[in-house]
Amino acid sequence: GAGVSQSPSNKVTEKGKDVELRCDPISGHTALYWYRQSLGQGLEFLIYFQGNSAPDKSGLPSDRFSAERTGGSVSTLTIQRTQQEDSAVYLCASSPPSRNTQYFGPGTRLTVL
Amino acid sequence: AQSVTQLGSHVSVSEGALVLLRCNYSSSVPPYLFWYVQYPNQGLQLLLKYTTGATLVKGINGFEAEFKKSETSFHLTKPSAHMSDAAEYFCAVSVDDYKLSFGAGTTVTVRA
Taking CB atoms and an 8 Å cutoff, what residues of chain A touch B101? Answer: 45
Which residues from B are below 8 Å from A when comparing CB atoms? 32, 36, 41-46, 49, 51, 90, 92, 94, 97-105
According to DSSP, the β-strands at B106-111 and B10-14 are parallel
Task: Specify the pLDDT at position B97.
Answer: 67
Give A100's pLDDT tier (boundaries 50, 70, 90): confident
| Shortest Cα–Cα distance, A105 to chain B (Å) | 5
Taking only the tens place, the pLDDT of each residue in A5-16 is 999 999 999 999
Phi, psi (degrees; rounded to nearest 5) at A63: -75, 0
**Of A104, A34, A45, A24, which Cα lies nearest the Cα of A67?**
A34
Task: Specify the pLDDT at position A42.
Answer: 86
Task: Specify the pLDDT at position A1.
Answer: 60
**Of B50, A36, A6, which Cα lies nearest the Cα of A47?**
A36
Q: How many CB atoms lie within 10 A of CB B96?
A: 13
Task: Provide the β-strand partners of residue A78.
Answer: A20, A66
Whether A28 has a pLDDT exceeding 70, the answer reads yes
Mutation for A interface: B41, B44, B47, most A CBs within 10 A: B44
Three-state DSSP at B62 gives: helix
State whether B44 and A59 contact (CB < 8 Å).
Answer: no
Distances (CA, A) of B90 to A43, A72, B75: 9, 29, 11
Task: Specify the pLDDT at position A34.
Answer: 97
Which member of B45, B49, B98 has the closest CB to residue A31? B98
Give the DSSP H/E element, type plus range, for residue B49.
Answer: strand B44-50
Q: How far apart are CA B13 and CA B109, in angstroms?
A: 6
Give A98's pLDDT tier (boundaries 50, 70, 90): confident
| Shortest Cα–Cα distance, A100 to chain B (Å) | 6
Q: How far apart are CA A43 and CA B84, in angstroms?
A: 23
CA A96 to chain CA centroid, Å, is 17
Whether A40 has a pLDDT exceeding 90, the answer reads no
Whether A99 has a pLDDT exceeding 70, the answer reads no
| Shortest Cα–Cα distance, B73 to chain A (Å) | 19
Give the DSSP H/E element, type plus range, for residue A92.
Answer: strand A88-95
pLDDT per residue, tens digit, chain B (112 aa), is 778 999 999 999 999 999 999 999 998 777 899 999 999 888 899 999 998 888 899 999 999 999 999 999 999 999 999 999 999 999 999 877 678 999 999 999 999 9
| Shortest Cα–Cα distance, B92 to chain A (Å) | 10
Three-state DSSP at B110 gives: strand
Three-state DSSP at B54 gives: coil
Distances (CA, A) of B51 to A48, A60, A87, A94, B103: 20, 27, 34, 18, 18
State whether A35 and B49 contact (CB < 8 Å).
Answer: no
